[in-house]
Amino acid sequence: MLSREQIIDAAIGLLDSGGEGALTVRALSERLATGSGAIYYHVGNRDQLLDTATETVITSALETESSQAVATPEEEIRRVALALFDAIAEHHQWLATRLTLQIVRNPAGPVTVEIFERIGRQVGALGVPRASWFDATSTLVHYILGAVSQNARMDGDTSGIQPDMDREEFFDATSTAWQELDPENYPFMHAIVGQTKQHDDRDQFLTGIAIVLAGLTHLR
């Protein structure tokens, strides 16, 4: 008998393989060898299915992360951030966009509430004054979502750059273009050319988290 979980798993498979465009009721019906009525009965319409798929992936990522022992608030924030980073990297075809939409459109939804609660508790534990909790937590969440979304688009969607250009080729081309700039007018760009080609996205992401956390100490 077809279950809700089977439908969601199949939907995530379609999304991972071809992005949002690949997820249609017809494609899902064919994959599950069922009629569209069964899909609508279990998960509702396509938008509801996309929301449910997003909730399923994010909830699973955060549950896996929370099973580990945590020593400090900073470490917990980094682990939550990396759980989101890794989930979006794994589902780069679609998850970044859907996660952002959920947070914007459904501030009372389980995804938004869970992310803000998990990070917000640690902001309080860092000693940030209560009056600054919302601004501080929002800043962290905005950085996390912005950074992981940019990384996901680099991995999964290079349209607008070159359709057949992968990440390494993109940064090689970028470095070459920056090297051709006038060094007198653009000394900083010349100074970071080597770093651009060699940087690790995950390490860069964690550096950003560290910068934000260091800034929060001034709110104490």
Per residue in 159-186, pLDDT (tens digit) is: 444 545 677 788 888 888 999 999 999 9
Q: Is the pLDDT of residue 158 over 70?
A: no
Any idea which of 36-40, 114-118, 153-157 has the lowest mean pLDDT? 153-157
* Residue 50 domain-assigned (yes or no): no
CATH code of 205's domain: 1.10.357.10
Per residue in 121-148, pLDDT (tens digit) is: 999 999 999 999 999 999 999 999 988 8
Report DSSP state, residue 34.
S
Mean pLDDT score across all residues of the chain? 88
Domain containing residue 170? 79-219
Residue 59: C-alpha distances to residues 115, 134, 154, 161 (Å)? 9, 22, 24, 33
* Residue 159 domain-assigned (yes or no): yes
Taking residues 81-91, what's their average pLDDT?
A: 93
* Residue 53 domain-assigned (yes or no): no
* Residue 148 domain-assigned (yes or no): yes
Number of structural domains in the chain: 1
Report DSSP state, residue 22.
G
Q: Is the pLDDT of residue 2 over 90?
A: no
* Residue 123 domain-assigned (yes or no): yes
With pLDDT > 90 as the criterion, what percentage of the chain qualifies? Answer: 62
Residue 153 CA to residue 92 CA, distance in Å, equals 7
Per residue in 181-201, pLDDT (tens digit) is: 999 999 999 998 888 877 888
Q: Tokens for 57, please give them.
A: 């992936």
